[in-house]
């Protein structure tokens, strides 16, 4: 539920005037002679998950330059990954080297990454065979992350770290020792890190939050026979769900989904929801 300025989070309408749904905080009762006594309709608006749960959609772009540290090898391995501020591995974002995840080369040359991933083979980014030079995609190294974990779930806002390691086929390669800290949230964030000489220079991360979706808004509701007719507006082509329950205090996970669809190209929808014989029902409008 959403409450603004201490008011209850309900949407309702007055049957006498057939007025559109008012602002959050309105709760009204709908009585009709032909319907079950005291038919009570309330509407709870739940906006996009990023607004409600602190999970802002967006893109983090990393860039960094690798510096040749012995100049003798034609075999260059480069890996990148993202973790929480506490170091919990989320996923790999770059893998340049042997295609076999269990290759002994990873243990021998990129051990920090290999240990951190703990067997994870999830990667969302660039992957290729071993490089022979620092040109092309290694000059500089660039990756983007969409803020989603290995299961494609949007991660919570907060502090995260990017990590980078590379090697020239001669023992363990250098890595960003403490990780490169940046902040994911509703505000744009740019940081230019100090050079980690002699191995890493021109390091930066830019977090760009996606434009916030239009919050769902119920434009009108009315009863017609055994159906509740509802129109609403929201973000173009975003999915929405209408959930129902007989008790507004029920846990969110126990509400029943009674309609699923997407807002159209104009950010609107119109549908009919069977009311049934229960004299008291509550509805949530949820959009992702």
* C-alpha to C-alpha distance for 171 and 105, rounded to whole angstroms: 10
pLDDT given at position 55:
84
pLDDT given at position 47:
43
**For residue range 176-216, what is the model confidence (pLDDT) as tens digits?**
999 999 999 999 999 999 999 899 999 999 999 998 777 88
* C-alpha to C-alpha distance for 277 and 36, rounded to whole angstroms: 7
pLDDT given at position 44:
54
Mean pLDDT by 10 residues, the chain (288 residues): 29 33 30 40 47 73 92 86 98 96 96 98 94 87 96 94 94 95 95 95 96 80 86 85 87 88 89 80 81
- Percentage, residues of the chain above pLDDT 90: 45
pLDDT given at position 41:
53
Q: What is the mean pLDDT of the chain?
A: 81
Domains for the chain: give ranges and CATH numbers. 1-48+213-288 (2.60.40.10), 58-209 (no CATH)
Residue (of 155, 138, 165, 137) closest to 81 by Cα position: 165
pLDDT given at position 36:
40
pLDDT given at position 80:
98
* C-alpha to C-alpha distance for 30 and 38, rounded to whole angstroms: 7
**For residue range 267-285, what is the model confidence (pLDDT) as tens digits?**
899 999 888 776 678 888 8
pLDDT given at position 42:
55
* C-alpha to C-alpha distance for 189 and 52, rounded to whole angstroms: 21
């Amino acid at each position: 539920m959403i409450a603004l300025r201490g008011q209850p989070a309900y949407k309702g309408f007055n049957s006498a005037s057939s007025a559109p749904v008012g602002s959050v905080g309105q709760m009204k009762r709908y009585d009709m002679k032909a319907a079950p006594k005291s038919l009570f309709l309330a509407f709870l608006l739940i906006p996009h998950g990023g607004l409600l749960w602190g999970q802002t959609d967006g893109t983090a772009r990393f860039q960094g330059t690798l510096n040749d540290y012995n100049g003798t090898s034609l075999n260059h391995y480069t890996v990148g990954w993202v973790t929480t501020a506490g170091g919990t591995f989320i996923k790999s974002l770059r893998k340049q080297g042997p295609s076999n995840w269990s290759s002994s080369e990873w243990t021998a040359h990129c051990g920090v990454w290999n240990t951190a991933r703990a067997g994870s083979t999830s990667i969302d980014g660039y992957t290729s065979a071993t490089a022979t030079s620092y040109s092309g995609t290694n000059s500089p190294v660039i990756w983007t992350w969409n803020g989603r974990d290995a299961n494609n779930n949007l991660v919570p806002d907060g502090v995260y770290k990017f990590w980078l390691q590379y090697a020239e086929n001669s023992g363990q390669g250098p890595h960003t020792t403490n990780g490169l800290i940046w902040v994911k949230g509703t505000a744009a964030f740019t940081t230019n890190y100090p050079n980690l000489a002699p191995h890493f220079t021109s390091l930066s991360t830019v977090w760009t939050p996606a434009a916030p979706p239009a919050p769902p808004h119920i434009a009108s509701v009315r009863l017609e026979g055994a159906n509740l007719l509802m129109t609403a507006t929201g973000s173009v082509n975003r999915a929405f769900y209408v959930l129902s329950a007989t008790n507004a205090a029920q846990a969110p996970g126990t509400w029943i989904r009674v309609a699923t669809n997407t807002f159209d190209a104009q950010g609107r929808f119109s549908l009919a929801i069977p009311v049934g014989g229960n004299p008291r029902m509550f509805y949530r409008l949820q959009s992702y």
